[in-house]
Amino acid sequence: MKKLEAILKGRKFLDELFGLREKEIRRKLEAAKDECLEAEINWKISYKEAMQKLGEKDVDYGKVLNDMITAKEGIMSAQATLKVIEEIGKDLDENVEFEPEDKK
């Protein structure tokens, strides 16, 4: 049995509710992934825009380089968060042994 199922089945609620809650958790995990992907794209755009400014006349190189550093940090942060989300997904899909509660 998958960890997520074991966690959710350990709670007392109807099987129908179990399925709905599992779908909601997976949907939220995908939404978090989508947000990170969007942030990564936006940071990459910012990075490329800043890089292009280096060729402009009378450019403030310090400001442009700081903008590039900020954008690159944003890209790296988004990529790291995507890896964490992937690991969480793997954790929830991992098989575990589960002993049901005694029925009274």
Task: Kindly state the tokens that stand for 64.
Answer: 């442009």
pTM (predicted TM-score): 0.74
**Domain boundaries, given as residue ranges, for the chain:** 3-93
Average pLDDT, the chain: 87
SS3 content of the chain, % helix, strand, coil (to 5): 75, 0, 20
| Residue scoring higher pLDDT (10 or 68) | 68
What does the pLDDT look like over 38-66, one tens digit per residue? 999 999 999 999 999 999 999 999 999 99
Is 97 within 8 Å of 1 (Cβ atoms)? Answer: yes
Q: Is the dihedral of CA 65, 71, 77, 80 positive or negative?
A: negative
